Structure 1
């Protein structure tokens, strides 16, 4: 992932609002025809070969490689950068995929500025790390575009494994299990595989159909089938899956959205940010997407940032993120916050919603300032209101649909070791599993590790 750069002047400020000042309410078509394509173009076009070589030459190839330690999937970063530097990006891609089979998408969405690049010696010494994320994208794109899948299946084991959920964790588990020679069936509730990568990230980070292209490429390992429109509680039970398969991996993510618990939350145009983002991801023509003139996003994570930035790119006149704690407590990285402000998003810290005001549809939101004391976060008596014709909730997600009999802790499925649940023969990985960060790269690592543990368990 690149360090964010502000959009060119003509894409921010008043010039980006062509029709929005004249059109109140939540409507589509706020911008001119060409502005949608420009606003949602790839924010970080991949390196050309010369740029990749220059970037790779900055790596010190450290013997202790703090970047590897900082990577949740422990990719051998110095090795793949050296392979790029020596003119073999295809070999670099295989080095990446050996640890992270979704390395192409992770190169686009992983918060490298908080992980490998933050640990880079160049960052410590100069304040400018090696651009690991962009180099990773260069390598993986180079080989994917050739249609080559560098892995082959082991001899068949006659073992059949169910994976519930086709997001990053489920796909990573399925690929590793298939590579070991097992037969894998992925069950997923949505029409397309991909999970968060397909439905939950900003469109400008992975424009076009990259998420689906990566899934199709991953499936070339063979031995994996996908059944869409299948979910626990909708024709599937954990008992039934366990009976019909030698092992089960639950990678069901977090589909529930926390409530604001504020008066008026049920008014019109108060929506879940994840649904807004999913609609953007699936829209072929973004000019048909409706957005408010005055948008308020409540939350402090990546979902809040993605929803706010894309509202602005769709032509919203004012977009404000409101977060209940301070800037340092926001789970969205400083780079992502700076990117949001560079496109005209305002961020207000230390405020929480107390009332949504309107007549049928939202018109204003009332907030109370917050402060942190010995008893934790509390609301103060000082309040303010923001004009809003659209409100997006991005205040965290919850686990829904956890099968009965599984131990749950902290609202997630309890696991030990490499994803073992309280039910023998059942593993859990990704956002639905307790522990770890809710990141794509972490989900991939957990899915991979669960697969290795399943293989060891089944094969003795």
Structure 2
């Protein structure tokens, strides 16, 4: 019996003309025009005990900012948003509003059509950024210095709040650009026109923040030295580790980590130069899987399949994100557990899966296999925390569930060290949650430094 799999994998750049690439990577949600924003704001009931506000991890006063838009004051609305979430512009673009504020909107409950809170938030924050003015001023300098490791959403949020309170902040980040996940890990069609860097520049206008890139914890900076040289330390390290697939043939050519590939795509100067397969398979069920699949299709892949080991209702990606993938031509296949990556001459030609089912509440293998042809495979099965640089302080920083253990104020087990974002045990892998972590930690750091100053003065 002849082997049905292709012998010559087809991965190459330039599958689509420039016009098609531009269309595929255009803004997922074009911004609201002024009239559209006013009409949408009029739909809000301005609930007294607003469920949308309670569902927002950063507790933005949503009824207030929508009323400000309705009154023709988008700049005031933006200040309301940014006072709770300084990365409100990015969150308006990437937050899963369909499972947060908009899911509990009274309009959604009653009519199945929520107020477009995310779009209104973008309308307001874009208006503010267009003015070229920063909405906040620093308090009088305190003379206190805080080190932040990681220039992602948690670190940036923490830095901005501390700077507002008068402290001097230095951010260290291992990469060449600040922004973390917002710069390197989110699909390009969700954050167009270099928005991540424009938002970082906007945030830094508060003053009092220095960013040092190319500085990795454990290599260029060390916790012991930071604790010695600064009054407080915040760790916003993200998740640097990548979970292994655990399938035979995982190292074959054409098999990629989806997170690294998305980062490469986000930094490329010309999308036409980025190679993509004709048949692409993405393994996973979260947002990274959706982003990798949709962008593969936008680059010109003819067949793109997401294979997930459980059922559709158990995917971490929301129903809305699944719909985005399907409408872009991505095939979703469920109850498929990767068994081995098939290779020819050292390169991927397909994947063998074993079908799964749920037995007594647990995932079970059925013994039935299915093969999907592929030139290129992306693994999007989650990331893990890498403790490098955090384990040199005697017993090291205490971990819980493989991530940094913190209390409700985001304090770690080391005195004078706080942490937040995806790297902590309670992290939810959402930009908006990381922003809140940074804000909570900043307020507690400020309280601790203020208390220490009072004690010293007595």
- The alignment's TM-score, normalised by the length of structure 1, stands at 0.94
**Cα-to-partner distance string for 1:59-81 (whole Å, 9 max, x where unaligned):** 00000100000000000000000
Q: Does residue 378 of the first structure (1) align with residue 364 of the second (2)?
A: yes
Structure 1 residue runs of 4+, over 3 Å off? none
Q: How much does 1:33 deviate?
A: 2.1
Q: CA separation in 2, counterparts of 1:402 and 1:331?
A: 30
Contact kept, 8 Å, 2:65 with 2:76, in 1: the verdict is yes
Paired residues of 2:354 and 2:365 also in contact (CA < 8 A)? yes
SS at match of 1:118: coil
| Partner residue, 2:298 | 313
**Partner residue of 2:436?**
445
Deviation at 1:236, TM superposition (A): 1.2
Equivalent residue, structure 1, for 2:287: 302
Q: Does 1:120 align with 2:111?
A: no
Question: Which of 226, 237, 247 is the matching residue for 1:262?
Answer: 247
Query: In the aligned structure 2, how far is the partner of 1:39 from the partner of 1:172?
Result: 31
Distance 2:293 2:356 in 1: 22
Q: State whether structure 2 residue 444 is matched by structure 1 residue 458.
A: no
Partner of 1:174: 159
Of residues 222, 238, 241, the one that matches 2:223 is 238
- Displacement of 1:417: 1.4
Using the alignment, how far apart are the partners of 1:418 and 1:301 within structure 2? Answer: 29
Aligned match of 2:4 = none
Superposed CA deviations along residues 260-317 of structure 1, whole A, max 9, x for unmatched, are 0000001001000011111111122111110000000000000000000000010001
Q: Could you tell me which residue of structure 1 aligns to residue 416 of structure 2?
A: 425
TM-superposed CA distance for 1:41, in Å, is: 0.9
TM-score normalised by L of structure 2: 0.94
The 3-state SS of whatever aligns with 1:264 is coil
Using the alignment, how far apart are the partners of 2:244 and 2:11 within structure 1? 22
2:168 maps to 183
Q: 2: CA distance between counterparts of 1:421 and 1:281?
A: 33
Moved more, 74-83 or 394-403: 394-403
Maintained 8 Å contact 1:402/1:413: no
User: C-alpha displacement at 1:378, in angstroms?
Assistant: 2.4
Q: Is the 8 A contact 2:139 2:166 kept in 1?
A: yes
Kept in 2, the 8 Å contact 1:321–1:347? The answer is yes
Q: Does 1:395 align with 2:381?
A: yes
Work out the CA distance in 2 between the residues paired with 1:25 and 1:407.
47
Which one of the candidate residues 101, 108, 116 is aligned to 1:131?
116
Pick which of 332-341 and 393-402 moved more.
Answer: 393-402
- How far is the alpha carbon of 1:402 from its aligned partner? 5.2
Matched residue SS, 1:452: helix
Number of aligned positions between the proteins:
438
Pairing of 1:151-300 with structure 2 (within 5 A): 151-300=136-285
Residue 318 of structure 2 is aligned to residue 327 of structure 1: no
Deviations 1:300-345 (A, max 9, x none): 0000000000000100010000111111111100000011011110
Secondary structure at the counterpart of residue 236 of structure 1: coil
Structure-2 residue corresponding to 1:27: 12
Is the CA contact (8 Å cut-off) linking 1:165 and 1:186 kept in structure 2?
yes
Q: Deviations over 1:117-164 (max 9, x none)?
A: 001000000000000000000000001011110100011111100000
Q: Choose the corresponding residue for 1:410, options 395, 401, 417.
A: 401
Q: Separation in 1 of the partners of 2:363 and 2:223?
A: 39
| 1:24 positional shift | 5.7
Offset from partner CA, 1:388-410 (integer Å, 9 cap, x none) = 11000000000112511111111
Q: How far did 1:231 drift?
A: 1.0
How far residue 375 of structure 1 moved from its aligned partner, in angstroms, is 7.3
Q: Which runs of 5+ in 2 are unaligned?
A: 1-7, 452-458
Q: Secondary structure at the match of 2:422?
A: helix
Cα offsets for 1:8-35 (capped at 9, x unmatched): xxxxxxxxxxxxxxx9611000011211
Distance 1:114 1:98 in 2: 23
1: CA distance, partners of 2:55 / 2:105: 9
Q: Is the 8 A contact 1:110 1:439 kept in 2?
A: yes
Name the SS of the counterpart of 1:117 in structure 2.
Answer: coil
1:368 aligns with 2:354: yes
What is the alpha-carbon distance in structure 2 between the residues aligned to residue 418 and residue 396 of structure 1?
26
Per the alignment, residue 455 of structure 2 pairs with: none
Alpha-carbon distance in 2 for matches of 1:376, 1:363 = 31
Q: Distance in 2 between matches of 1:204 and 1:386?
A: 27
